[in-house]
């Protein structure tokens, strides 16, 4: 756990897939401490991951946990919700997150249960505070500005800006070191990156990568990867090539620059190809 700016605590997620050893603690998660209450930013990837985070909060402060904010619906970010039920916080998410939590949640939970066991897998909570555009959370003496984005990494990415320190929690709109995974729109993601660049940010917490990065330079690697995929897929489409051909050829010059590249690049190309063939 690192305090990257006053009152902003981040737990680094390992660059692995979920295992019993890491308890799906693979995403960067953490919390922000105000004068009256605490907001959790992503409660973790499993029951134990969430409980460990809650213990970290209690080692720092006795203030109540008023909010649990979900940056998006993916399991490594939300299945620690169960660890915070007793705090009765407001669960907060992008308005579109609820539908995907419901439709894919059971599948995710069963998959995680195969690794951790059903109870240890944890579960999500249905968010009651849904953000369609912007919202503010008051923690007493410090406020968090929430912004819901257009379809990018997923269709329900939410960023959280701490006004006191100008620290931006990007969720999975920013991957560093670990290869980005596209579960939304490659063109939307590139547009959102341009929006994020303009925000008044000093420091950012990526969803995967180091606990903090300089802004906006931290966006550069991801931006280069997404630009390359777009360019190379458009070239395959322009010469009448197939989706199979694109999967076998696109993005490979980035292979040595990213962890878990072989696990995600082919699927990223598939998703992006389907989008770009309708441009």
Partner 1 sequence: MIRSILTTAMLIGLAGPALAEEDEAAQATRWQELKSTLFGDRPVIEDSNVITLDAPTRALDASTVPIGVSMSTAGPQISGGVTKLWLVVDGNPSPIVGAFSFGPDADPRSLRTRVRVDQYTLIHAVAETANGRLFSTAKFVKAAGGCSAPSTKDPQLAMSRLGEIRVRLEGNSVPVEGSVTTAQLLISHPNNNGMQMDQLTHNYIPPHYIQTVKVTYGSKLVFSVDADISLSEDPAITFGLRLDGDGPLHVEVQDSAKGDYRRDFALLKGS
Q: Which residues are near partner 1 by CB under 8 A?
A: 16-19, 21, 74-76, 95-96, 98-100, 102-104, 107-108, 110-112, 114-115, 151, 155, 181, 183-185, 188, 238-244, 247, 260, 263-264, 266-267, 270-271, 274-275, 277-278
200 versus 240: smaller Cβ distance to partner 1:
240
Closest CB 123 distance from partner 1, rounded Å: 15
The torsion region of residue 166 among left (phi > 0), alpha (psi -120 to 50) and beta comes to left
84 versus 108: smaller Cβ distance to partner 1:
108
Tokens linked to 136: 């503010």
For tokens 């690697």, the residue is 221
Report the candidate in 12, 20, 23 with the shortest Cα–Cα distance to residue 83: 23
Closest CB 137 distance from partner 1, rounded Å: 23
Closest CB 6 distance from partner 1, rounded Å: 32
Closest CB 150 distance from partner 1, rounded Å: 9
Beta bridge partners of 138: 143
Q: From CA 76, how far away is CA 78, in angstroms rounded?
A: 6
88 versus 274: smaller Cβ distance to partner 1:
274
User: Over 72-100, what HEC string results?
Assistant: CCCHHHHHHHHHHHHHCCEEEEECCHHHH
Kindly list the strands in the beta sheet with 65-69, ordered across the sheet, starting from the edge strand earlier in the chain. Answer: 2-5, 8-11, 29-33, 38-41, 65-69, 90-94, 129-131
Q: From CA 162, how far away is CA 150, in angstroms rounded?
A: 21
155 versus 221: smaller Cβ distance to partner 1:
155
Beta bridge partners of 2: 10
7 versus 184: smaller Cβ distance to partner 1:
184
135 versus 237: smaller Cβ distance to partner 1:
237
Closest CB 108 distance from partner 1, rounded Å: 6
120 versus 260: smaller Cβ distance to partner 1:
260
Closest CB 50 distance from partner 1, rounded Å: 17
Q: What are phi and psi of 30, to 5 degrees?
A: 175, -155
Are 187 and 225 in contact by the 8 Å Cβ rule? The answer is no
Closest CB 241 distance from partner 1, rounded Å: 8
């Amino acid at each position: 756990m690192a305090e990257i700016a006053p009152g902003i605590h981040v737990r680094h997620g390992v660059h692995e897939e979920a295992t019993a050893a890491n308890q799906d603690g693979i995403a960067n998660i953490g919390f922000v401490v105000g004068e009256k209450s605490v907001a959790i930013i992503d409660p973790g990837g499993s029951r134990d991951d969430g409980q460990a985070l809650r213990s970290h909060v209690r080692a720092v402060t006795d203030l109540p946990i008023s909010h649990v904010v979900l940056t998006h619906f993916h399991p490594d970010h939300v299945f620690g919700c169960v660890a915070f039920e007793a705090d009765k916080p407001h669960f907060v998410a992008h308005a579109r997150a609820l539908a995907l939590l419901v439709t894919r949640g059971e599948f995710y939970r069963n998959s995680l249960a195969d690794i951790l066991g059903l109870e240890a897998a944890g579960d999500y909570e249905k968010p009651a505070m849904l953000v369609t555009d912007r919202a503010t959370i008051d923690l007493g003496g410090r406020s968090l500005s929430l912004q819901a984005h257009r379809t990018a990494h997923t269709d329900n990415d939410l960023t959280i800006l701490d006004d006191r320190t100008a620290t931006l929690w990007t969720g999975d709109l920013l991957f560093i070191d670990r290869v980005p995974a596209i579960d939304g729109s490659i063109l939307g993601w590139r547009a959102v990156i341009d929006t994020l660049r303009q925000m008044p940010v000093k420091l950012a917490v990526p969803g995967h990568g180091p606990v903090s990065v300089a802004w906006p330079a931290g966006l550069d690697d991801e931006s280069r990867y997404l630009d390359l995929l777009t360019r190379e897929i458009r070239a395959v489409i322009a010469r009448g090539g197939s989706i199979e051909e694109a999967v076998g050829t696109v993005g490979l010059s980035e292979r040595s620059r990213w962890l878990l590249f072989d696990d995600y690049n082919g699927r990223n190309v598939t998703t992006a190809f389907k989008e770009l063939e309708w441009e």
